[in-house]
């Protein structure tokens, strides 16, 4: 009995240490989030923007940020509560809720990137109030929007294939991916497509066949998988997107022609 009790105590101790570690390693994320929302509550937009990532600020101006915060009732911030915390190399995420000064509760998800050794808010995702279906439906683009995203990605990729360089395609992707991969890495990864120009020409203007994503993956990544059917070839693809400011931008891409 004493041995069993020791084992139970040991397991409990491991759980406590695990929880403490999560809180320790995500404390900087919480500090950034708290600083941002406290500035928002004071309606000090200049101070609030200091907590945002450069890519966020580049994609969302002051007017757009204030409009989003106003629509979301976040200008009336009172306190925050975080029920889920994640951190990995250079990336982080907080999921929880904001309580407003009128007592309202706003579910929210923040993603973070590390810039100059400081955690900055990369995106803010808030559910749309009203009837929703499916877990994660709050932040997932509609099926029609996903089709448009896939079509845009393939058009951008095909344009670079026709030009014989990946400059246009790289410029269409997320700022985060561009920072991680210079043009030469895009050439190394996708240069093999230059010999398949006819396959991409054959799917120009076509709509993809895909099974729309119903939820976001880890760290708020949107994964879209599908295919384009040409006259003789079929182009399968999977594309990963992240929210930069108010727009979904490509963070990963793979294709197969058969």
List the CATH number of the domain containing 197: 3.10.450
Please tell me whether residues 175 and 90 are part of one structural domain.
Answer: no
Write down which residue in 97, 125, 153 finishes a domain: 125
Beta carbons within 10 angstroms of residue 53's beta carbon: 23
Nearest to 138 by CA among 149, 148, 147, 129: 129
115 occurs within a structural domain: yes
The range of the structural domain enclosing residue 86 comes to 2-125
Task: Give the strands of the sheet with 222-229, arranged side by side.
Answer: 209-210, 222-229, 234-244, 247-257
Supply the pTM of this predicted model: 0.54
Name beta bridge partners: 239: 224, 253
Per-residue pLDDT of the chain (258 residues; tens, 9 = 90+): 555 555 555 454 444 444 444 555 578 999 999 999 999 988 898 899 999 998 888 777 788 788 888 877 888 888 998 988 888 878 899 989 999 888 888 888 888 999 998 999 988 887 655 444 444 444 688 888 888 899 999 999 999 999 999 999 999 998 889 988 999 999 999 999 999 998 888 888 788 899 888 888 887 889 999 999 877 778 999 999 988 766 788 999 999 988
Please tell me whether residues 14 and 113 are part of one structural domain.
Answer: yes
Please tell me whether residues 6 and 118 are part of one structural domain.
Answer: yes
Dump strand ranges (E) for the chain: 77-88, 91-100, 105-115, 118-125, 209-210, 222-229, 234-244, 247-257
Q: Give 182's contacts (C-beta < 8 A, 6+ positions apart).
A: none
Please tell me whether residues 150 and 102 are part of one structural domain.
Answer: no
Please tell me whether residues 113 and 151 are part of one structural domain.
Answer: no
Please tell me whether residues 118 and 157 are part of one structural domain.
Answer: no
The total of structural domains in the chain comes to 2
Please tell me whether residues 233 and 155 are part of one structural domain.
Answer: yes
133 occurs within a structural domain: no
Please tell me whether residues 72 and 111 are part of one structural domain.
Answer: yes
Query: Which CATH number do you get for residue 28?
Result: 3.10.450.50
- Checking DSSP bridges between strand 118-125 and strand 209-210, what pairing results, if any? unpaired
Angle between helices 27-41 and 2-25 (to 10 degrees): 50
Instruction: Give the three-state DSSP class for 253.
Output: strand
CA distance 254 to 258: 14
Please tell me whether residues 82 and 150 are part of one structural domain.
Answer: no
137 occurs within a structural domain: no
What is the Cα Rg of the chain in Å? 22
């Amino acid at each position: 009995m004493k041995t069993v009790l020791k084992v139970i105590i040991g397991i409990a101790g491991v759980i406590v240490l695990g929880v403490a570690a999560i809180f320790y390693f995500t404390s900087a994320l919480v500090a950034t989030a708290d600083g941002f929302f406290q500035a928002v509550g004071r309606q000090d937009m200049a101070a609030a923007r200091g907590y945002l990532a450069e890519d966020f600020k580049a994609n969302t101006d002051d007017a757009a940020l204030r409009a989003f915060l106003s629509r979301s009732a976040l200008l009336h911030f009172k306190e925050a509560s975080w029920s889920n915390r994640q951190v990995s190399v250079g990336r982080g995420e907080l999921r929880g809720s904001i309580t407003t000064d009128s007592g309202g509760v706003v579910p929210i998800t923040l993603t973070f990137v590390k810039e100059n050794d400081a955690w900055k808010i990369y995106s803010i995702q808030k559910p749309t109030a009203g009837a929703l279906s499916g877990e994660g439906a709050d932040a997932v683009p509609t099926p029609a929007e996903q089709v448009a995203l896939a079509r845009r990605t393939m058009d951008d990729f095909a344009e670079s294939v026709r030009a014989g360089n990946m400059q246009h395609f790289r410029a269409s992707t997320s700022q985060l991916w561009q920072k991680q991969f210079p043009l030469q890495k895009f050439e190394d990864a996708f240069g093999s497509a230059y010999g398949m120009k006819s396959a991409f020409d054959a799917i120009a203007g076509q709509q993809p066949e895909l099974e729309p994503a119903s939820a976001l993956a880890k760290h708020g990544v949107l994964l879209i998988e599908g295919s384009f059917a040409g006259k003789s070839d079929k182009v399968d693809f999977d594309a990963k997107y992240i929210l930069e400011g108010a727009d979904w931008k490509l963070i990963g891409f793979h294709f197969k022609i058969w």
